[in-house]
Amino acid sequence: MSEFYIPPIDDSLNATQNSQVVVAGLGSERSGIESANSILHKPVGIASTAISRYQVIAKQLDLELLNNVSSILNEINSKKLQIVEKSQLALVGFVTGINPPICEIASDRSDIDSPIVSEKDTISASNALTGSLSGLLGDPTPKISYGVVRKDTLRVWIAPNLEERKAPNNNAFENLKYPKLNRDRCGKGKENIIFKNDKYNDGTNTIYCWNNKGDWSIREWEKTGNALGRYYSIIGPGSGTAKLAGVYDAVTQIYTLDPEFQPLTEILTDITTGTYTPKTGNALVDIPISVSYNPITGELTKTIISLSTIPSGSGYFEFDSTGICNTLKSEIATLESEIETLRVGLSTYLEPPNSLKSKKHSEQLKMWSLKRVEVENEEKITQIGISTNAIVGIDSSLPSGSNTFDDGVLTTFDSGQITFDTY
């Protein structure tokens, strides 16, 4: 029976041949990816040109929008400030545990129903404390709720990756912001938005903004931001009387209000009658005296001729506050109605620029997706180079200096560093 000689398998030769096959295959794959990227150049260029054209027109429309809307927003925010100041007057003299507000204020947050309030909070009720106001020893004070008033602002939805025409990762909307629209930002962004009270519902979440840069949250405001002040909802005059603490000078007949009460002189513009009760500690002296008070000059004089005199020192002037509270409530309601009317017309100014920006945004998304493919392809090319270098490092029989693949691109391997020459 004949014997046949079977030569031993040269494993090193097979390994070398296999390595050569892998390297050649990687080179072909890289060539295909680069060809795909070159094909993408044209649609990317078309999308970029479309974006630029839309942006030029959008900038002009945004400038017109700013001119039309800025004055309206300024008027709205000015009226908001007036409301804040008027509602603060209803709280004049309020010190927790010492003196209640001159008007009755809503105690529950649910009772605050105003179109200018962004969020709500509460001041707790208090038992009577030791007084710190002239002539007032301390009275229980009620629970008071208030709203925070913030500006109405014109903002723009901006995703930096789309505006910069880049796609570094899979998040096209990374670092999304809602900055205030200004001349530098005209033409940019997906849409312009009126943030009433600096918040906006996008259909899914309520967006809360707190600065001009457009930082935002869906968990209410993280900072003070564009807060204008507090809003107190006036229910009515309450007891109908108010006490103004101060110090009386019998020589000059001038009654100086404590600082907490001085803002009330903005409302008390006419001579007001009431009673003045001294607080000397002498029960025979500390009795109410009928007086008239001139808030402009500070003069306080008796209205009934009597032998008694008003002693110098601390005391409080008590008067009917019904008219003040009703007036403030009415004026605030009027301002709120005017704000709502001004807001109605704003949406018409937004339509032209937003319609164009919607088209620009579609082109931006198209370009982003194309750029994302390019970036991913470039990452694959880099990985191919790293893999090729690793194979050469393992198999010393392969060329260690340079290797020319079938794509005609020169690949240089040098201490693990890979560079690809451009065409």
Mean pLDDT of 118-147: 83
- List the domain range (segments joined by +) for residue 301: 241-320
Q: For 251-274, write each residue's pLDDT tens digit.
A: 999 999 998 888 888 888 889 999
Please tell me the total count of domains within the chain.
1
Q: Given a cut of 80, is residue 400 above it in pLDDT?
A: no
Q: Give 376: exposed, middle or buried? Use CB within 10 Å, 0-12, 13-18, 19+.
A: middle
Q: Which residue has the higher pLDDT, 173 or 372?
A: 173
| 97 within domain boundaries | no
Q: For 341-366, write each residue's pLDDT tens digit.
A: 999 989 899 999 999 999 999 999 99
Q: Which two tokens stand for residue 360?
A: 């620009």
| 344 within domain boundaries | no
| 377 within domain boundaries | no
Query: Nearest Cα to 395, choosing from 15, 14, 11, 10?
Result: 15
Query: What's the whole-number average pLDDT of the chain?
Result: 82
Q: How confident is the model at residue 22 (pLDDT cuts 50, 70, 90)?
A: very low
Q: How confident is the model at residue 157 (pLDDT cuts 50, 70, 90)?
A: very high
Q: Which of 12-16, 85-89, 334-338 has the lowest mean pLDDT?
A: 12-16
pLDDT of residue 1: 46
| 293 within domain boundaries | yes
Mean pLDDT of 49-64: 94
User: Please, which residues have CB within 8 angstroms of residue 1's CB and are 6 or more apart in sequence?
Assistant: none
Contacts 24+ apart (CB under 8 A), 278-281: 278/135, 278/248, 278/310, 278/311, 278/313, 278/314, 278/315, 279/134, 279/135, 279/313, 279/314, 279/315, 279/316, 280/311, 280/313, 280/314
| 253 within domain boundaries | yes
| Distance (Å, whole) CA 358 – CA 350 | 12
| 300 within domain boundaries | yes
Mean pLDDT of 83-93: 91
Tokens 């990756």, residue located: 161
pLDDT of residue 98: 82
Phi/psi at 306 (5° precision): -155, 170
Q: Give 161: exposed, middle or buried? Use CB within 10 Å, 0-12, 13-18, 19+.
A: buried
| 296 within domain boundaries | yes
Q: How confident is the model at residue 304 (pLDDT cuts 50, 70, 90)?
A: confident
| Distance (Å, whole) CA 266 – CA 262 | 8
Q: Which residue has the higher pLDDT, 124 or 21?
A: 124
pLDDT of residue 421: 46
Q: Which residue has the higher pLDDT, 214 or 20?
A: 214
pLDDT of residue 35: 59
Q: Given a cut of 70, is residue 10 above it in pLDDT?
A: no
| Helix (H), strand (E), coil (C) string for the chain | CCCCCCCCCCHHHHHHHHHHHHHHHHHHHHHHHHHHHHHHHHHHHHHHHHHHHHHHHHHHHHHHHHHHHHHHHHHHHHHHHHHHHHHHHCCCCCECCCECCCCEECCCHHHCCCCCEEEEEEECCECCCCCCCCCCCCCCECCEEEEEEECCEEEECECHHHHCCCCCCCCCCCCCECCECCHHHCCCCCCEEEEECCEEECCCCEEEECCCCCCEECCCCCCCCCEEEEECCEEECCCCEEEEEEEEECCCCEEEECHHHHHHHHCCCCCEEEEEEECCCCCCCCCCEEEEECCCCCEEEECCCCCCCCCCEEEEEEEECHHHHHHHHHHHHHHHHHHHHHHHCHHHHHHHHHHHHHHHHHHHHHHHHHHHHHHHHHHHHHHHHHHHHHHHHHCCCCCCCEEECCCCCEEEEECCEEEECCC
pTM for the whole thing?
A: 0.75
Do 71 and 204 meet the contact criterion of CB atoms below 8 Å apart? Answer: no
| 51 within domain boundaries | no
Mean pLDDT of 1-16: 47
Query: How would you list the strands of the sheet with 206-209, edge to edge?
Result: 199-201, 206-209, 216-217
